[in-house]
Amino acid sequence: MTDKNLIWNKTSAFVGIIAIVITIGVSWYFNQEKSTILNIEKVSEILLTKPLDVEGLTVSYMFYDSIEVKNLWRTTFVIRNVGNKTIYGKGFPEQSIRQHYIPLFIENGERILSAVITNENNGAFMLKPLQLIISQWRPREFVEITILTDGDNPPNLMISDREIKDSKITYSVYSTETINEKQKLIEYFPKGVANTLRWIIILAMIFLSLGYFIMIKDNFKREPKRQKISFWILHVFLWVIIFCSILLWMF
């Protein structure tokens, strides 16, 4: 076997390995078991009955003109589907939820005065206070709920993971520190896709780097036309992978 045929075979083998890695990665992602995850984020909490430092000014709140409210809290939560699986509710033969609604639970709220949806993009609505009705809740869709309570402490909104099939409920608190943070390109992808891309690019860079250095070594021995073409094809592939890595992780 001539040197140029040997080099061509090596190049073809490396390209074939890369193609196999990409195929395995894509197949793994689309065939993996998807997860159902809801994140409940506390966006704000405001004590509306906090006394103002103004001489002679007094403020009082009455509920239905008969019940005095001493510590009125207005707390806003955003419930977001951060998993990669759609939650099916009312109207679908195979529901993901145990009942016809998702029960919401309040912790620390001594008296619940109001619970309303103030924003949403999944068509959810409240049948009764703390009963969330959904039909189809896709990944990344959200519901914003504002709650008014009377009590010494601000409330926490909770959902039992027993109410949604194979689900996980996570909790977080909104922070302004992340407002000005610029997301990297890879962070816009779903977590599963991002991890798959990372491994594909890492493995592709390893294989291409090995092939690249082998080609450089052999290229200095002889330089027939076919060997030059193989060398530059591999050279271009390597720099494309490097460029993609810079785009995904730096910008």
The b-or-e profile of 161-179 (16+ CB within 10 A means b, else e) is eebbeebebeeeeeeeeee
15 and 81 share one domain: no
Q: Quick one: how far is CA 217 from the chain centroid?
A: 45
161 and 73 share one domain: yes
pLDDT at 154 exceeding the cut of 70: yes
Instruction: Find the domain containing 213 and state its range.
Output: 3-31+186-250
66 and 81 share one domain: yes
In angstroms, rounded to a whole number, what is the distance separating the alpha carbons of residues 221 and 203?
A: 28
Domain assignment present for residue 176? The answer is no
Domain assignment present for residue 172? The answer is no
- Other beta carbons within 10 angstroms of residue 26's beta carbon come to 13
41-89 tens-digit pLDDT:
999 999 988 777 777 777 777 777 777 888 889 999 999 999 889 999 9
pLDDT of residue 16: 62
Domain assignment present for residue 82? The answer is yes
Q: Which residue type, as a one-letter code, is found at position 170? A: T
How many domains are there within the chain?
2
Rounded mean pLDDT of 134-162?
Answer: 93
93 and 207 share one domain: no
27 and 40 share one domain: no
pLDDT of residue 179: 47
203-239 tens-digit pLDDT:
776 676 666 666 665 655 555 655 666 666 766 776 6
Residue whose structure tokens are 């090995």: 210
- Other beta carbons within 10 angstroms of residue 240's beta carbon come to 12
Domain assignment present for residue 179? The answer is no
Rounded mean pLDDT of 30-48?
Answer: 83
110 and 194 share one domain: no
122 and 201 share one domain: no
The domain that holds 152 is classified in CATH as 2.60.40
At 38, is the pLDDT very low, low, confident or very high (cuts 50, 70, 90)? Answer: very high
Cβ-Cβ contacts under 8 Å for 2 (sequence gap 6 or more):
none
Extract the tokens encoding 135.
């039909």
Domain assignment present for residue 244? The answer is yes
205 and 123 share one domain: no
Mean pLDDT of the chain: 77
Domain assignment present for residue 97? The answer is yes
Q: Quick one: how far is CA 66 from the chain centroid?
A: 45
Grouping H, G, I as helix, E, B as strand and the rest as coil, residue 149 is: strand
In angstroms, rounded to a whole number, what is the distance separating the alpha carbons of residues 9 and 227?
A: 11
Domain assignment present for residue 13? The answer is yes
Q: Are 250 and 183 in contact (CB under 8 A)?
A: no
- Other beta carbons within 10 angstroms of residue 159's beta carbon come to 18
27 and 86 share one domain: no
